[in-house]
A and B are shown apart, each in its own frame.
Chain A
């Protein structure tokens, strides 16, 4: 394999600046939404004392999970020493850092008291998985940042393997920790399951790679750089495996729950009687976000089409957001089991399915997380050498046979 030549993108076109302006305005809209929510209080949102985490959390958790997954390509190249993935490894670290930044921005700006972030950074309750996650997230920036540095600066290349290995372990811990936010909730029927940790790891593989693949395809198309079938096919086949992996975990999770009588209520709610949550689960998460992308990826015709794979990747991202929605909002909508076997009612909405209508402000805050991520990537590839000039087959892997 030839040594890949990394080069900044020109980024002089009107379209490039338009893209930055568009992303920038969505990011500003998110900041505006934040001030709107913080000014008078969270009463302007659809969140309440029954559905305490809303749309911002759906976006934030999705982006944080995807951040870990975006590191897939770098991990495969450094940890598993697959040279074909090496040219895209620096971009992989960049997308990972950008996704985590976007996700954390949404999470922090939704806090009741974001002005007290310094408290969260300085006072730790080590029994809290949230506190661990703060260490995981901050450490991720540091470790992946150093990892990117070892790859970008030639005389540090020798350290990239060990940095990559550290980042690999760290990202697994990070996603397990994020899944455990839900896994450790003993109170709620929909959560409290050890499978949440590993399931989030596989979800991260899928969502992160889908976003990464979209970024690669868009960047190479818009900058007229060659993207060969060797790289493309590798990435899309890997994506297919991850999508199937997520489906497997979802099946395992629900089958386990269906076996235990105490979980029949919540399973019936998500799978059959939950109205919007049931529809989102089957049509959004399973069919749109899982089965259709799988078909597009592995069908002999569509599997070769860049357009079809772009659509598949977008569907995986949308399906992933819907999966988060079903987990986070659906899990809270189902009432707490205070008195098993009894009907409960009160002035505080005990025993009823809680309703949630997200507001525009929450949506803008969440979408702003995506905008910040993409802005960071678009800007960084202009000022730093993250992208190989060519990902043509002969540049990446001359022995690749089609």
Chain B
């Protein structure tokens, strides 16, 4: 074997071994990536569904705040913000009392993110942190929220809160971050598992049954049937936002 042939042989071997090492190094990544993608594809959120909520204000008990308490427990807010003033503390859902100026008729209802189809908060967000999932759930990606609060200026329902201090004791399913904005996300982590949002569950546990959760695109869902039968209004319908949360008895 001449010297040059020997060198070529070495080169071939070296290249082959390098390729094998590189292949071994990359392979697990590729496999894991495939696994991750396959899983994501199976659970993919699609626009075949639009999650919505229907609230019957006539069934909503004036003194009851079970939905608010359930939301606090589920998403770990309303506690721990010891430095913030009442005006600064976050509220994802609140009970609102409305009184008709003419008739004096009093109503009570829970108010939270209305999960608009064309959400002003999503429109104005410079980074896209305020986003809408394909299934209609509006939420904040806290990893890219820069805390500019323009979404809070834009929301007609005052559904959003800014976190004014460091938050301890968070839930893994509801991360909260200082300097970012947050709001009701219809308990997306529960919905993805096929469960109802915490507020809806609490309302039925209290046997008020004022809240129905379901797929607005499924004609056979309880919410669609009820909406078709008795209708449901949007708050600030004049804005044309096509909210995912509807009310009866307004």
Residues of A at under 8 Å CB distance from B? 38, 40-44, 47-53, 111-114, 116-117, 119-120, 123-125, 127-131, 134, 181, 184-188, 332, 336-339, 341-350, 354-355
- Check if A48 sits within 8 Å of B147, measured CB to CB: no
Q: Quick check: is B209 within 8 A (CB to CB) of the other chain?
A: no
**Cβ–Cβ < 8 Å partners of A38 in chain B:** 179
Q: Quick check: is B181 within 8 A (CB to CB) of the other chain?
A: yes
CB of B118, distance to nearest CB on chain A (Å): 10
Q: Quick check: is B84 within 8 A (CB to CB) of the other chain?
A: yes
Question: In the complex, what residue of chain A is closest to B110 when comparing beta carbons?
Answer: A346
**8 other contacts beyond A123-B144, A185-B154, A344-B96, with CB at 8 A cut-off?**
A41-B163, A112-B148, A112-B181, A338-B235, A346-B95, A346-B97, A347-B91, A355-B87
- Check if B235 sits within 8 Å of A131, measured CB to CB: no
With most chain B CB atoms within 10 A of its CB, the pick from A48, A113, A117, A129 is A113
State the CA gap A151–B162 with chains docked (Å).
46
Contact of B178 among A41, A127, A344 (CB under 8 A): A41
- Check if A130 sits within 8 Å of B124, measured CB to CB: yes
Q: Among the listed stretches B6-14, B47-55, B125-133, B196-204, which one makes contact with chain A, having 4 or more residues with CB under 8 Å of it? A: B125-133
**Cβ–Cβ < 8 Å partners of B181 in chain A:** 112
**Cβ–Cβ < 8 Å partners of A41 in chain B:** 83-84, 163-166, 178-179
Question: In the complex, what residue of chain B is closest to A339 when comparing beta carbons?
Answer: B98
- Check if B128 sits within 8 Å of A125, measured CB to CB: yes
Given contacts A52-B152, A119-B146, A338-B236, A125 and B162 within 8 Å (CB-CB): no
- Check if B162 sits within 8 Å of A49, measured CB to CB: yes
- Check if A128 sits within 8 Å of B150, measured CB to CB: yes
- Check if B144 sits within 8 Å of A130, measured CB to CB: no
With most chain A CB atoms within 10 A of its CB, the pick from B120, B161, B236 is B236
Q: Quick check: is B35 within 8 A (CB to CB) of the other chain?
A: no
Question: In the complex, what residue of chain A is closest to B105 when comparing beta carbons?
Answer: A342
Q: Quick check: is B100 within 8 A (CB to CB) of the other chain?
A: yes
CB of B109, distance to nearest CB on chain A (Å): 10
Contact of B145 among A112, A125, A339 (CB under 8 A): A112
Question: In the complex, what residue of chain A is closest to B93 when comparing beta carbons?
Answer: A348
Contact of B180 among A112, A186, A346 (CB under 8 A): A112
Given contacts A40-B165, A112-B162, A186-B239, A52 and B153 within 8 Å (CB-CB): yes
Contact of B157 among A116, A120, A129, A338 (CB under 8 A): A338
**Cβ–Cβ < 8 Å partners of B99 in chain A:** 342-345
- CB within 8 Å of A: which of B152-177? 152-158, 160-166, 177
Q: Quick check: is B111 within 8 A (CB to CB) of the other chain?
A: yes
CB of B96, distance to nearest CB on chain A (Å): 4
A-B pairs with beta carbons under 8 A, tally: 182
**Cβ–Cβ < 8 Å partners of B217 in chain A:** none
- Check if B98 sits within 8 Å of A344, measured CB to CB: yes
**Cβ–Cβ < 8 Å partners of A131 in chain B:** 126-127
- Check if A128 sits within 8 Å of B124, measured CB to CB: yes
- Check if A186 sits within 8 Å of B147, measured CB to CB: no
- Check if A188 sits within 8 Å of B153, measured CB to CB: yes
**A-B contacts, 25 listed (Cβ < 8 Å):** A40-B166, A41-B84, A41-B166, A41-B178, A42-B179, A43-B165, A50-B158, A111-B147, A112-B145, A113-B145, A113-B147, A116-B144, A125-B127, A127-B122, A130-B125, A185-B120, A185-B154, A186-B154, A186-B156, A186-B239, A187-B153, A341-B102, A342-B101, A344-B96, A354-B87
CB of B57, distance to nearest CB on chain A (Å): 11
Given contacts A112-B145, A112-B149, A49 and B156 within 8 Å (CB-CB): no
Question: In the complex, what residue of chain A is closest to B95 when comparing beta carbons?
Answer: A346
**Cβ–Cβ < 8 Å partners of A128 in chain B:** 123-126, 150
Q: Mark B50-89, 1 if CB is under 8 A from A, else 0.
A: 0000000000000000000000000000000101110111
State the CA gap A120–B102 with chains docked (Å).
48
Q: Quick check: is B94 within 8 A (CB to CB) of the other chain?
A: yes
CB of B141, distance to nearest CB on chain A (Å): 10
**Cβ–Cβ < 8 Å partners of B123 in chain A:** 127-128
Question: In the complex, what residue of chain A is closest to B90 when comparing beta carbons?
Answer: A49
- Check if B87 sits within 8 Å of A48, measured CB to CB: yes
- Check if B158 sits within 8 Å of A336, measured CB to CB: yes
Question: In the complex, what residue of chain A is closest to B65 when comparing beta carbons?
Answer: A347
**Cβ–Cβ < 8 Å partners of B102 in chain A:** 341
**Cβ–Cβ < 8 Å partners of B164 in chain A:** 41-43, 48
Contact of A112 among B146, B156, B166 (CB under 8 A): B146
**Cβ–Cβ < 8 Å partners of B148 in chain A:** 111-112, 120, 130
